[in-house]
Structure 1
Amino acid sequence: MPLSGHCLCKAVTYKVDVDAPLLTGYDHCDDCQRQSGSTYSLVAVVPKDKLTVDGPIKKWKGTGSSGNAVWRWFCGECGSPIAHDPDAAPEIIALKGGSLDTEIKKNLKPDTEIWTVGKLPFCQEHLAKPFKHMPE
């Protein structure tokens, strides 16, 4: 069963032709905190070539720790975050977990934390696979 999701207003929808994400975890980087308005962003990393998106996507270009661009995707209508797309890893894209369809996100099993160097001190959750930056 493919993964699927949408933005808040449903103007943007997507499908990923995979049964499960490659990685599910918390991204504690400052950019994800700001984009999510929370202590971290729940991400579901999937192969980019398996993703199909319909609707008015806008993209904002930031710079990752590699010096390469990280493209933040969001709905052009309601502004909901959809994904971040790092040029340093062109084969993958990190979908924002909250944008997945309800029954899919209820069954996610996050086990990885990235950018724990930016983890806020009051965030008490600890997942099995923490990385100070990105996994090697």
Structure 2
Amino acid sequence: MTKTISGGCKCGAIRYLGEASDVSTFRCYCRDCQRLTGTGHSEMFPLVAASFQLVGPYSEYQMTGGSGRSTWSVFCPTCGSPLTRRSERMAHCVYVHASSLDEPEEYMPSRSIYTEAAQTWDQPSLNQ
């Protein structure tokens, strides 16, 4: 059975909906995630890209990721909440920031990635 996941930004201007993917959840310590979230890492929950719906005015930032391929991040232009990440490399998924989920308790990270970029004050606690 497919599980529908929903969420949105802090101010409520943006909402999203999509099906949970069978791709693993993860905690990312890459320098891009640190800068995009303003924290030491990001907590990412994958949704099936073909099912993903985003409603409301949003800002999207495109950049080149560590793989050398394009990645995109979506933010609320009103409250600044980071909402999604997607990439050419994993085009079948849209990764939502776990803190933006309506039911954040649905999230449980299964692994950590790019741990070599972790800050000394935010060390990985999961196995890779």
Shared fold, TM over 0.5: yes
Q: Which residue of 1 aligns with 2:126?
A: 127
Give the 3 Å change call, closer, same or farther, for CA 21–98 of structure 1 in structure 2. farther
Q: Which residue of 2 aligns with 1:12?
A: 14
Note the C-alpha offset of 1:37.
1.2
Q: Measure the CA separation in 1 of the matches of 2:51 and 2:100.
A: 17
Note the C-alpha offset of 1:107.
3.1
- Greater shift after overlay, 118-127 or 77-86? 118-127
Q: Percent identity?
A: 28
Note the C-alpha offset of 1:21.
6.0
Q: Which residue of 2 aligns with 1:134?
A: none
The letter for the 2-side match of 1:4 is: S
Indicate the SS of the match to 2:25.
strand
The answer for unaligned runs of 5 or more in structure 1 is: 131-136
Q: Which residue of 2 aligns with 1:133?
A: none
Q: Which residue of 2 aligns with 1:112?
A: 111
Q: Which residue of 2 aligns with 1:68?
A: 69
Matched, 1:33 2:24: no
Q: Measure the CA separation in 1 of the matches of 2:76 and 2:22.
A: 21
Which has the bigger relative contact order, CA under 8 A and spacing at least 6? 2
Note the C-alpha offset of 1:123.
2.4
Q: Measure the CA separation in 2 of the matches of 1:43 and 1:21.
A: 13
Q: Matches of residues 22-101 of structure 1 in structure 2 within 5 Å?
A: 22-101=23-102
The runs of at least 4 aligned residues of structure 1 exceeding 4 Å deviation read none
Note the C-alpha offset of 1:22.
2.8
The answer for unaligned runs of 5 or more in structure 2 is: none
Structure 1, residues 26-62: CA drift from partner, whole Å, max 9, x if none?
A: 1101111111111101110121112111001211111
Q: What TM-score does the superposition give when structure 2 sets the normalisation length?
A: 0.89
Indicate the SS of the match to 1:33.
helix
Give the 3 Å change call, closer, same or farther, for CA 21–39 of structure 1 in structure 2. farther
RMSD between aligned alpha carbons?
A: 1.6
Give the 3 Å change call, closer, same or farther, for CA 108–21 of structure 1 in structure 2. farther
Give the 3 Å change call, closer, same or farther, for CA 9–107 of structure 1 in structure 2. same
Q: Measure the CA separation in 2 of the matches of 1:90 and 1:17.
A: 15
Q: Measure the CA separation in 2 of the matches of 1:73 and 1:87.
A: 15
Indicate the SS of the match to 1:72.
strand
Note the C-alpha offset of 1:76.
2.3
